[in-house]
Amino acid sequence: MIVISLHYNKRLYQFHTYEDEYDSLMCLISDHFPVRCFGVCYGGGCCGTCGVFIMDSNGSPKFGLSCEMRIDATLNDKVIILDR
Q: For the chain, give every domain's residue range.
A: 2-81
Cα–Cα separations (whole angstroms), residue 16 to 19, 22, 61:
10, 12, 22
The predicted structure's pLDDT at residue 35: 86
d(CA 74, CA 70): 9
The predicted structure's pLDDT at residue 49: 86
Alpha helices for 1-84 (secondary structure H): 25-32
Q: Of 3.40.50.11440, 3.40.50.720, 3.10.20.30, 3.40.50.10860, which CATH number belongs to 2-81? A: 3.10.20.30
Q: Angle at the Cα of 31 (from 57 to 63), degrees rounded to 5? A: 30
The pLDDT tens digits for 13-44 are 999 999 989 999 999 999 998 888 888 777 77
Question: Given phi > 0 = left and psi -120 to 50 = alpha, else beta, which region is 16?
Answer: beta
Query: What is the chain's mean pLDDT, rounded?
Result: 90
